[in-house]
Amino acid sequence: MNKNNNESVDLARRIVLNTQGIKKVDVVICPPFTSLAPVFSVIKDSNVKLAAQNMYYEDSGAYTGEISGKFLKILGCEYVVIGHSERRKLFNETDIDVNKKIKKAIEIGLTPIVCVGETLEERENGETEKVVKKEIEGALQDQTGKEKIIFAYEPIWAIGTGKTAQPEDANKIHNLIRNIVKTDFKIDETAVRILYGGSVKPSNAEALLSQPDIDGSLVGGASLDAKSFTEIIKAAVSLA
């Protein structure tokens, strides 16, 4: 919940300017709902794509305060973030809610970016793999079009804290996700895109992105500054 309309448009303009000519990586920005339309007007002729931070699993109806994925598509969204840890923790979203949202997103042609990850307590108790496996299975259960899903591993203890998983540790969980989708859901693991999120910044982006199973970054605070976000994008480009 950052950046009003004017601030969002200004940030989007800077990102578009800074990423002109970049073709090797996908750049996606996720402004608040209130900024989606004006931001799309800025990026629509660039290689920067638009995502929403959340959506509901019904097309329309008496769901005051919720947003339909179909509304998002009309505004130019191609992607939607689903199951972010803050949605799960602060707004009590369950694996069932996440599953329904994924199903609807795929049905209407939005690419879901599905977040999974453990808390500090779960990490200290040695439950990381158990938690991630449960959330992956909850997301993929009874889904069609599973190969369209992008996963984002975001260790909750690293979000906004300045702490970052060691690149090798993060890669281990990415490899776990890849094996789960292959073994349990018969998805081509080489085609699955898995992002890392959790205090990604210019100083650690290259080390994280150079890991074999980390395909990209889900950037939080560093994306609110055009310069730092661009440096992360350029780190990805250098490794592409």
Residues acting as catalytic residues: 84, 154
Cα–Cα distance, 40 to 9 (Å, whole number): 9
Q: How far is CA 110 from CA 119, 219, 221, in A?
A: 28, 20, 24
Distances (CA, A) of 37 to 6, 44, 196: 12, 10, 27
Give the H/E segment covering residue 26: none
188 within 8 A of 147, measured Cβ to Cβ: yes
83 CB neighbour count, 10 Å cutoff: 28
Token pair listed for 17? 């300017």
Q: Report in angstroms the alpha-carbon separations of 78 from 116, 149, 175.
A: 21, 12, 26
Is 229 within 8 Å of 209 (Cβ atoms)?
no
216-217 and 79-82 as β-strands: parallel, antiparallel, unpaired? unpaired
- Secondary structure of residue 181 in the 3-state scheme: helix
